[in-house]
Amino acid sequence: MSCLMSATSAQPVHVIGGGLAGSEAAWQLAHAGVPVVLHEMRPLRMTDAHRTDRLAELVCSNSFRSDDRSYNAVGLLHEEMRRSASLILAAADAHRVPAGGALAVDREGFSAAVEQALAAEPLVVIERGEIAGLPPAEWDEVIVATGPLTSPALAEAISRLTGEDSLAFFDAIAPIVHKESIDFDIAWFQSRYDKGDGVDYINCPLDREQYYAFVEALLAGEKTSFHEWEEKTPYFEGCLPIEVMAARGRDTLAFGPMKPVGLTDPRTGRRAYAVVQLRQDNALGTLYNIVGFQTKLKHGEQLRIFRMIPGLARAEFARLGGLHRNTFLNSPKLLDRELRLKAMARLRFAGQLTGVEGYVESAAIGLLAGRFAAAAKRGRQLAPPPVTTALGALLGHITGGADAATFQPMNVNFGLFPALETRERGRERKRALAERALAELDAWLGASRAAAAE
């Protein structure tokens, strides 16, 4: 690494937050020969969810989800990260525990391996301490990777810099459906009162009986219990969970998110008793979110109950609903394609703070932020990965593809990938998307290596 180091300026890159994203970013920087200071506030200051002082602590489950690189988007992301020399994936592979087709890890062994690898890296200095405001002006290249539980002082400073409404503190997630799984023999395109283009929403009609059966199912459905610390965070009236609204009265939803007014079911020529509306969620038009359906129902219950909605009987979900405290940027509005804050380009963001959801996705954005910062430190520009790769699709979604007005944290999924030019369907389509992704990733990695060696 020493020959590369001479090409960099003496100033290190400062990475704030030693979680999944920050640890990966620091590793990628060091791997490119760039010195790093990694700032982690634990154990001096803890978050409400972390329990240890370890880098890359997993705050909840020990699963990195499916490891199927041919048919599953997160499995494909694993493979892309392995090929990109990811520390997080190497540590996960080394501390794998049996979990069927999933990549699950021994959480202590995993975190210890990440910490040991970074501690042993001569170009990385780990400093314990909170960065309690905007980083000092002399830090010319900073990666902020402080996660969903960013400390309040830093969160407030970022909020002031980006504008009052740009940092969400409470995350109400509505489920997202793959458009191709919606039954258009039942559902139809129409905007309420034919506003806008007249066909901006997908509508699913319910008759009286179906509506009350649906409300009963919502009320009886099993809910996720709140963490004790989450109980201190009140609901915002504007984003009440659907089952909380239903509990206020059996007709509340029919006058709220499920109101049928201004919509005519083309099959009957009449207004339905109630309507569930879905709104386009990505620029490609492959994903639709269910409007107003943020929920604390358990995931299995969401699948069962939301598939009761006419038109969604065979719905495939790109993401299920949820509600927890979260800090994330409105990245499509605030960040450029290299994850830099438009309002202050020396600050780059990574991890869950950028509006991706999940351990793997957070680490993936850390990997990209680290590579972009390394190139910048060495006076070069790194082209983003192609949007046909899982890394590029995720990056493209948060930095442009997603609608800024409705932006919510997102898992990687095949709905984020541009369509194939060939006509494969179902599983074969996924395999073709994955094959295309890996071929294009290899080309991108090759080109990046060649540019770095020049």
Q: Per CB under 6 A, does 352 bind ligand FAD?
A: yes
Q: According to CB under 6 A, which residues from 151 to 170 bind ligand FAD?
A: 151, 154
- Provide the minimum distance between the beta carbon of 240 and ligand FAD in the complex, in angstroms, as a whole number: 20
- Provide the minimum distance between the beta carbon of 124 and ligand FAD in the complex, in angstroms, as a whole number: 15
Say how far apart CA 129 and CA 39 lie, in whole Å.
Answer: 6
Stretch that binds ligand FAD, among 58-66, 159-167, 246-254, 436-444 (CB under 6 A): 58-66
Q: Which of 53, 93, 130, 251 binds ligand FAD (CB under 6 A)?
A: 130
Q: Which of 4, 37, 49, 445 binds ligand FAD (CB under 6 A)?
A: 49
- Provide the minimum distance between the beta carbon of 334 and ligand FAD in the complex, in angstroms, as a whole number: 16
**Nearest to ligand FAD by Cβ — which residue?**
19
Size of the site for ligand FAD (CB under 6 A): 34
Instruction: Say if CB 326 and CB 148 are below 8 A apart.
Output: yes
Give the list of residues 6+ apart from residue 450 with CB closer than 8 angstroms, or none. Answer: none
Q: What are phi and psi of 206, to 5 degrees?
A: -125, 140
Q: Per CB under 6 A, does 145 bind ligand FAD?
A: yes
DSSP track, 200-236: -EEEEEE-HHHHHHHHHHHHHS-BPPPPTGGGGSPPP
Sheet strands side by side (includes 176-178): 188-189, 201-206, 274-280, 287-290, 176-178, 317-319
Say how far apart CA 255 and CA 88 lie, in whole Å.
Answer: 47
Q: Which of 146, 162, 295, 408 binds ligand FAD (CB under 6 A)?
A: 146
Kindly report whether the peptide bond that precedes residue 43 is cis, defined as omega within 30 degrees of 0.
yes
DSSP track, 331-350: HHHHB-TTSEETTEEEEEE-
Could you say which DSSP state residue 419 is in? P
Q: Buried (b) or exposed (e) across 37-57, using 16+ Cβ within 10 A? A: bbbbbbeeeebebbeebbbbb
Stretch that binds ligand FAD, among 2-10, 54-62, 95-103, 180-188 (CB under 6 A): 54-62
- Provide the minimum distance between the beta carbon of 434 and ligand FAD in the complex, in angstroms, as a whole number: 20
Could you say which DSSP state residue 151 is in? -
Instruction: Say if CB 335 and CB 354 are below 8 A apart.
Output: yes
Stretch that binds ligand FAD, among 20-28, 252-260, 303-311, 398-406 (CB under 6 A): 20-28
17: left (phi > 0), else alpha (psi -120 to 50), else beta?
A: left
What is residue 407's three-state secondary structure? coil
Q: Per CB under 6 A, does 149 bind ligand FAD?
A: yes
Q: Buried (b) or exposed (e) across 11-30, using 16+ Cβ within 10 A? A: ebbbbbbbbbbbbbbbbbbb
- Provide the minimum distance between the beta carbon of 20 and ligand FAD in the complex, in angstroms, as a whole number: 4
Closest to 186 measured CA to CA, from 301, 276, 253, 321: 276
Q: According to CB under 6 A, which residues from 62 to 91 bind ligand FAD?
A: none
Q: Per CB under 6 A, does 41 bind ligand FAD?
A: yes
Q: Per CB under 6 A, does 61 bind ligand FAD?
A: yes
Say how far apart CA 93 and CA 208 lie, in whole Å.
Answer: 52
Site track for ligand FAD across 318-347, x = CB under 6 A: ------x-----------------------
Q: Per CB under 6 A, does 116 bind ligand FAD?
A: no
Q: Which strand (E) or helix (H) includes residue 177? A: strand 176-178
Q: In the complex with ligand FAD, which residue's Cβ is closer, 152 or 249? A: 152
Q: In the complex with ligand FAD, which residue's Cβ is closer, 190 or 326? A: 326
Q: In the complex with ligand FAD, which residue's Cβ is closer, 119 or 439? A: 119
Q: Per CB under 6 A, does 42 bind ligand FAD?
A: yes
Site track for ligand FAD across 356-375, x = CB under 6 A: --xx--x-------------
- Provide the minimum distance between the beta carbon of 214 and ligand FAD in the complex, in angstroms, as a whole number: 29
Stretch that binds ligand FAD, among 143-151, 235-243, 244-252, 427-435 (CB under 6 A): 143-151
- Residues in contact with ligand FAD by the rule CB under 6 A: 16-22, 39-42, 47, 49-50, 59-61, 130-131, 145-151, 154, 324, 351-353, 358-359, 362
